[in-house]
Structure 1
């Protein structure tokens, strides 16, 4: 998840009561697939959330699902790591305006060539953003989604997450920021909670969960199990 994907957030604090009201409007109950806690497992090692199956569904399908134009880009971290991301800036889910970012796994040689063909490079708070050629955009949009990050447009009380997801299997606190990561490996879910930012929910296939946890452990500490 890049800083670029999070800098747009400026909506003030809204209580969990309002959030619940948006999800449970009388006479107009939202489609259950619009809810971040509606997680299905088409197979033991896969996750379906928001109607998209990680490792199967593509950003092009996500664009149709969300009815919002996708913005694909490459990001290069200060360490030189390249990541292909697709950003949906304004998604309406269960009556809430939210943002969604999906990543796709591109072979190392292919993503290096995409970088070299990039049309424009812009600096961000977390590295560099590379604008892709039309052909490379098409490739990214047709590649299966490897992770999905949901950024709700309101602040959410921890009690709602406990009610909907249950007690996390593990909690890790980042050393630098103090952000808390609630981990649910059975659902491939990492909920990031911070006093200064809105929550962030990242979903990955359960078989890939260790790749998500390792950097957290390298830069944080376990506070409960």
Structure 2
């Protein structure tokens, strides 16, 4: 038994050392063309938000690719029942401010542009929110390079966020809401345009979403409250 315990400890030490020195082996190569600041560095005015050198409602998809690289996926999401369609995308596993992350985003578009591309697409799958997804093949991506970035998010791949980290990076006085039925917690900073969501059960990755401060009430706070999200106490007080 003693030998088994020593063997287990030895394996754990080896794994720890390998994880420390070998972590760069699993880091994706830097895909963008400029260095970006960490995810908690957000520059805002009431009308503007800039993060990762991207200014919402000003920078376009071509700008985003220049900054974060071309590991790009684009899709049309159609809401069940309403038939409303949204152009969304994400940059797959790139370096963002020194962290490995996925970067989802939404793009401004027109009904005419969506209807034009829909003639080339077929439904590929259902998302977890029961939206139908139409994936856009890579050969059509250039059609959207001029589309403006509306919202952007940061999903860390190699680190986990918790309340202590959130309060330390974004500030100690957020609005904290919990989705109904003991759903995700949201740490909301309206003046910064930041919504950090944490899964209450710790099963899903944390997400940092950025939205211009003047749109925060309409796009974040109102939908949460309409869906019966409730105030929650901060645990770190």
TM-score using structure 2 length: 0.73
Structure 1 residue ranges (4+ consecutive) displaced by more than 4 angstroms after TM superposition? 133-136
Distance (whole Å) between structure 2 residues aligned to residue 168 and residue 59 of structure 1: 33
Q: Does 1:201 align with 2:208?
A: yes
Structure 2, unmatched stretches of 5+, are: 1-19, 25-33
Residues 19-168 of structure 1 aligned to structure 2 (within 5 Å): 33-41=36-44, 43-79=45-81, 80-115=83-118, 117-125=119-127, 126=129, 127-132=131-136, 137-153=141-157, 154-168=159-173
Task: Give CA-to-partner distance per residue, 1:55-98, whole Å, 9 cap, x none.
Answer: 11112111111123221211112232211012111111243221
CA shift, 1:218, in A, is 1.4
SS at match of 2:36: helix
Shift of 1:177: 5.2
Q: Does 1:172 align with 2:177?
A: yes
SS in 1 for 2:71: coil
Flag the 1:166–1:128 CA change in 2: closer, same or farther, 3 A. same
1:17-75 per-residue CA deviation (whole Å, 9 max, x = no partner) reads x9xxx9xxxxxxxx98331110112x431000011100111121111111232212111
- Greater CA radius of gyration, 1 or 2? 2
For the 8 Å contact 1:188–1:209, the answer to whether it is kept is yes
Give the direction of change, closer, same or farther, for the CA distance of 1:66–1:217 in structure 2 (3 Å limit): same
Distance of 1:196 and 1:182 partners within structure 2: 18
Root-mean-square deviation (Å): 2.5
Aligned length: 195
Q: TM-score, normalized by length of structure 1?
A: 0.77
Is the CA contact 2:180–2:230 (under 8 Å) kept in the aligned structure 1? Answer: no
Corresponding position of 2:226: 218
